[in-house]
Every structure is written in C-alpha cells, then in structure tokens.
Structure 1
Amino acid sequence: MKIVADENIPLVEAFFQDLGDILRLPGRQMRLEDVADADALLVRSVTQVNAGLLAGSAVNFVGTCTIGVDHLDADYLVAQGIHYASAPGCNANSVVEYVYAALCHLDINWLSRKVGIIGCGNVGGLLHRRLRAQGVECYCYDPFLTAEQNADLASLEAVLACDIISMHTPLTTGGPHPSFHLIGARELEQLKPGAVLLNCGRGPVIDNQALLKHLHTDRDLQVVLDVWEPEPEISQPLLARVALGTPHIAGYSYDGKLKGTEMIYQALCRHLAMEPRKTVSDLVQPLADNALTATAPDAWSAVKALIPRVYDIAADDHRLRELSAQSLAGSANFATGFDLLRKHYPMRREFHNYRVEGSNAETWLSTLGFQCR
C-alpha cells in the first residue's frame, strides 16, 4: 500500500508505517501525478480533494485530519466509491482554549459578559458547555439544533446583541441555511458598541471586505480572526485593523493534531478490516516539568496571568504581523509565509497537561481544563 500524506500531519510514520509506504508532500501543492498510484490519501484543510486531484488515481481511501470537510468533494468521492473519513472534534479543545487565550489577551473577563456562539457543533458546543459550567449567560445560534439539544438556542439577532460573539460554523454554500457570508454589512451594523467578534471556524463565513469597511468607522469593535477570506492571500489591510490576527492555527495544539492523526489511523484500519494497534498514549510521553504556580490578588488576575504562560497568543499575532510587514516591504511572499507559519508552528500543549499550585482560582482553572488540587 502507498500512502500520500500532508507533511504537516504529526506522527504519520509512527501510526501508519506498518500499513504501507509513506510519501509526505506539502498539502497545498498536491497534484494528480503525486497521488496517481497511491492507495490512501491523508490531508488537512489546505488540500482540495476532488476530481482534479483524484481522477484516474488508485486512491480508495481519503482521510482528513480535521473536523471540517468543506475541502472534500463528498459527492465525487461517493460516486467514485472512495471511502472518506474526518476527525470530528479532534481539535475542539484547542480552539476553545484559543478563545480563552484571546479574551485574556484583550482583558475581557467572560464571566461578566453575555456570550453568543454561532455554530454549536463539536467546537461551539464544547465552548458552550465550558461557559455554562462557569455560569456564563449564553445565546447560541445553530439552525440545525433543537431546544432539547441546546437550551440556549436563540435567533441570530439575539446572538449579535451579545458582548462577545464567537463563530464556529463550518462553511456551506447550499442547503436551507448556508453559512457563506452569514455575517455581512447588515449583521455587522447590529453589533453593540465595544463588542468582541471572534472567528475560529471558516473565513468566508464573514464577508471580509464588509468587515474591513465596517472597521473603518467602528473603532470600538474588537475583532479576533484566525480564519480569513481567502487563505493564504488574506487581506493585509484587514489584518492591520483587527485586535488579534493569527494564521489559521486555533486548532493547532499538538494534542489536537495528534488526536486527528489517531482518529484517521483508526478509520483507515476499519477500512482495511484491521484492529488498530496504536494510540497516542502509546507513542507520546506525558509532558514533563508541568507544574505551574499562580499567585495573584484575585481569580481573574490569576487566570489572565496563567493562560499566556501556557499559550502565548500574542506571539502568534506578532509572527503574522511581522510577515505582513516583510511582505509589504518586498522581502517576503505573504502566501508562502502564511503556510510556513502553519508548517513550523511551535508546539502548543493544551491546558490539561499542566498542574497548577498555589492559586486562588482552582475552581475556575479546573473548569478550563487545568489539573488542580
């Protein structure tokens, strides 16, 4: 068996080497000739998997180590009898921690704010449960859920009236509720003064040009964008105006990526009618030296000081802005640099890997996922 895999998928050899020969390639540069004689294709969201990539190839299994599948032409795969699998929920915790890190950086204590969530699947649903566990007032917009599934369902207008709006919807262009440009000029005008808008789902769910135009007049709106329209050729003028901008790495925790690899390994084993023989815990040692001490006059100060020690979101923002400055100066290609920031992303471990001692915010930190006494 020949397996072609995106070079950014971690532990590919460790998980898949017993199943076949592995060829690693840049995901955005995969071409028909690269996969013509492959039996299995392992990708991330940057690879468009369709007839243009697979026509006439030997591929009979496609696995994407991501929760989203909008980069897969599902109709084509089904018509060709090609089995495909994704990794739903693999990076949900990583994205939720990104939201917390962003709010800490902006000094926004979410306990005292109304939070709106657009899209309450694996990611938005986890964020909703964590916030509700802390007693946060939440409003959720997801037309595919019922009140029995989510007691905080509300209209889109009610969500847009919140203090914090966090977007976690997949990208869809058809069906009864398409998400493409769900947030445009009209919706942006509905945001309250001083609101915080975060998008960690898919870039085109927000009309980026409408957002840029809106930010020229609404200086109080604080925007956090991890996803853009389009990528990797994002709007650098928009980057200059957002409060935080990162290169589509909200779900890029090491733990989340490992979980994605493991889930696709399990899916390929099922496809081959084999029993999986490996797990992440077999291949990765627990984090050493994971003790943190948090001392602060109050719980919010403790949380705000501790989270950047585990995940420095400001560094992600700085790297993207530095790339933009180099691009505007003519010393770097922005699109290439955007992908390189993702390829060489520093290892980020999730909160549950760390033990916290000496804090007066144990209950709060425990709800966020930290190990506390």
Structure 2
Amino acid sequence: MKTPVVYVALQQFCEADAAPRQRLLEAGFEVRQNTLGRRLRREEVPTFLAQADAVIAGVEPYDAEVLAALSKLRCISRCGVGTDSIDVDAAQRRGIAVYTTPDEVTEPVAQLTVAMILALARNFPQHLAASRAGRWEKRTGVLLSEWTVGLIGFGRIGRAVARDLSPFGPRLLVTDPALSSGEAPDGVQRVELAALLAQADVVSLHASRPPHAGALLGRHELASMKPGSYLVNTARGHLVDDAALVEALQSGHLAGAAIDVFATEPYTGALSQMPQVLCTPHVATLTRASRAAMERRAAAHVVEWWTQASCLTPTS
C-alpha cells in the first residue's frame, strides 16, 4: 500500500508541541510542510498539494476550481473554526472530507477580543504612538461599565466574549439571525443589526460569512455606527470594507478600531499607520496551549479519516 501524503499548509506547525507531527508519522504518513514563511496563495495551492492525500489547512482558498486541480486530495483538516475559504459543497461532490477544530479556538479568540476592547477603552493605541514619538500625552479613558458593547454573532466565541465582559458591567447587545428572541442569556439584549450599530460604543464582530457575499460592514453600515464609537474585528477580514473603515476613521466618525484579520494578508495598508488603530497580524488563536490543541485535533482528524478510508479500501 502506498505511503499517504499529508501536506501541512500552516505557517507554524509543532512549534510548541511535537505530538501532532509524531502522530502523523506513526500513522504512516509522509509529512510535507509549507516552508515559505507565509500563507499559500491561491495559484500555489495546486502545485504544493499536487501529491497530497490530505491537507492540514490554514485559511488558503479551496474553491471549486482549486479542488478540481487536486485530483488526489481526499481530506481537508482545517486548523481553525471557519470554512469560509473552503467550498464545502464542491468538496462533498468530490468525496473530500472536511474537518474543523471549533472548540479549541473559543478561549484564545475571546481573550484577545476582550483585551482589544479594554485597550480601546483606555486609549492604548494613541498612548503607544505618542510614547514612541517621544511625547508625554495623556488621554482620559472610560470604564467598560460606561459602555454599550455590541456583539455581531453569538456562537461559541460571541458567547464567551459576553461571559468575559459581564463582570466589567457593560450593557451587552447582540445580533445574530440564528438567535431566537428568547434565547439570549440574562444580561444580554437581542436587537437587530441597525439598532446595535446605532447604540453600541464598541462593535465586535464574531460572525461567519462567505467572501463572495461581500462585506457585512460596508460604507453604509459604518456610517450608521454611533459617532465616536469603535470597531473590533477578530473574526474574518472580508467582513469589513477596509477602505470605508479608513474613511470613517479619518473623518472622525469612528474613534478607533482594533483589527486582527484583514481581507488581504499580510496587511500593509493605511490602517496599520493610524494612531487610533490597534493592528495585530491574525494571531487571535496563536497561544501556546490553544495552538497545540488545534494542531493535535487537526492531526487526529487526518489519522481518523485515513483509518476509516483504509478500512473501506480493499488491499491487493
């Protein structure tokens, strides 16, 4: 029986724990890895994965055309929660199994979100910019109990953010089409998107939306936000129109933003140069414990898939 090949498309793999690679090797896989130091581009995926039976995937695209070029691929094990970059229907039609690691990302993303909200409340971006420029400038911040926080999306991560924010005492609003009117927990008020944007002092994104659907927060939605409010995005870069966000910040309509995800990465655009904006390089899940847990789970999915596939495949 041939040696199965798994391609690890992640930029980092087994940095904190060698167990995922070891498990793949013990299961009989040849492990090949992305050594570019960056995310694979769409046009590169068919080349690097040409011999792969399985891939431990990041957020590189697996649309129908890419999948059609990967004749050997039968398993996509996503190291993360979202499948926005994967055409799941096309994968199913081609007999490709798709797995994710939803439980492992909840706490790290929620913690970074809360850290960003606290940083905006106390003007960390502006204080840091002034300090690095040699200026001793003080800006008065706010307590979170003075704020209304609006959460767009109330799945695992949105609920964890609400839980972690509650002890600080903010008013919590949430909008989610999957949430029924009586489903919001105590201390959380369910509202429509328009009402949330108009009332929230800080809006935090925790939603899922395919890239082809366009931005959830475009020019109109950003203009509908409360004057002087803030935006936090630790969800998906394509949820926000970056150009419209820059305009809203430059005009002063929005007071600031904290962004971990961008439509195009690596991101070197105007937001990274604005003193009222806190930018991080897509690191919401990147803690030692959570990353190791995600990689272990992703590797386990590949091994489980291969074990099942081997049982169904007759040997000569």
Pairwise TM-score range, normalised by the shorter structure: 0.7 to 0.9
Amino acid at match of 1:28: L
CA 1:269/1:185 → structure 2, altered by over 3 Å: closer, same or farther?
Answer: same
Query: Residue by residue, what CA displacement relative to the aligned partner does 1:89-116 show, whole Å, maximum 9, x if unpaired?
Result: 3222111111222233331532332110
Q: CA deviation at 1:135?
A: 4.5
1:163 to 2:175 alignment: no
* TM-score normalized with structure 2 length: 0.77
Query: Residue by residue, what CA displacement relative to the aligned partner does 1:34-86 show, whole Å, maximum 9, x if unpaired?
Result: 32222211111134454325525322111010111111111211110111111
Structure 2 match to 1:286: none
Q: 2:237 aligns with which of 187, 192, 203?
A: 203
Q: Does the residue aligned with 1:183 lie in a helix, a strand or coil?
A: coil
Structure 2 match to 1:239: 272
Q: CA deviation at 1:216?
A: 1.9
Q: Distance in 1 between matches of 2:224 and 2:284?
A: 26
Amino acid at match of 1:162: A
Q: CA deviation at 1:220?
A: 5.4
**RMSD over aligned Cα, in angstroms?**
2.4
Higher relative contact order (CA 8 A, sep 6+): 2
Percentage of matched positions with identical amino acids: 23
Structure 1 match to 2:13: 9
Q: Does the residue aligned with 2:103 lie in a helix, a strand or coil?
A: coil
Structure 2 match to 1:23: 32
Structure 2 match to 1:128: 162
Structure 2 match to 1:150: 184
Amino acid at match of 1:24: Q
Contact 1:9–1:65, Cα closer than 8 Å, also in 2: no
CA 1:173/1:104 → structure 2, altered by over 3 Å: closer, same or farther?
Answer: closer
Q: Does the residue aligned with 2:243 lie in a helix, a strand or coil?
A: helix
Q: Distance in 1 between matches of 2:88 and 2:255?
A: 37
1:272 to 2:276 alignment: no
* TM-score normalized with structure 1 length: 0.66
CA 1:267/1:196 → structure 2, altered by over 3 Å: closer, same or farther?
Answer: same
Q: Does the residue aligned with 1:250 lie in a helix, a strand or coil?
A: coil
Contact 1:91–1:260, Cα closer than 8 Å, also in 2: yes
Query: Residue by residue, what CA displacement relative to the aligned partner does 1:252-293 show, whole Å, maximum 9, x if unpaired?
Result: 22222222112223322332347xxxxxxxxxxxxxxxxxxx
Query: Residue by residue, what CA displacement relative to the aligned partner does 1:138-188 show, whole Å, maximum 9, x if unpaired?
Result: 1101112213432432111222111121111123257xxx5x322122222
Amino acid at match of 1:238: L
- The number of residue pairs the alignment matches comes to 269
Q: Distance in 2 between matches of 1:54 and 1:8?
A: 27
